[in-house]
Amino acid sequence: MSRTSALAVGIVAAIGVIWSCGSSAGGGGGSVSAERSIGPEGGTLTVGAVTLEIPAGALGRTEMVKIRELSSAVPGFEALTPLYELEPKGLTFATPAKVTFPTKSDAAVGEVA
């Protein structure tokens, strides 16, 4: 696996873990957050430089979606970005949602389809 692929898989895995664990991931206590009601028509939510784009049809009903920056890092990993928690816990999409965020300038660029 190339470095780019490994980085991309790691980022997606970290986001998935944080999303699925709810408030138990990373110690919580973040001070930067935003929430918005998003329904079947889709929508976008941004906190700082992190943007979650939920396309039309991805949700079957209206959900209160939240992004919160966490105050603690994951031990044993070098953080390329701050960690973010996405809620509600266990939310699934009929079509993929997109999360975008900047990383350190020396980080490899990756994409997972």
User: What's the CATH number where 14 sits?
Assistant: 2.60.220.30
Helices (H) and strands (E) in the chain, counts: 1, 6
- Higher pLDDT residue, 99 or 77? 99
Query: Based on the structure, what is the number of domains in the chain?
Result: 1
pLDDT in tens, 3-52: 333 333 344 444 443 444 343 344 444 468 999 999 999 999 999 889 99
Task: Give the span between the Cα atoms of 102 and 41, in whole angstroms.
Answer: 27
Expressed as residue numbers, the domain containing 19 is 3-100
Q: What percent of the chain shows pLDDT beyond 90?
A: 42
Residue 108 counted as domain residue: no
pLDDT of residue 57: 97
The candidate with the shortest Cα–Cα distance to 53, out of 36, 28, 73, 33, is: 36
- Higher pLDDT residue, 18 or 89? 89
pTM over 0.85: no
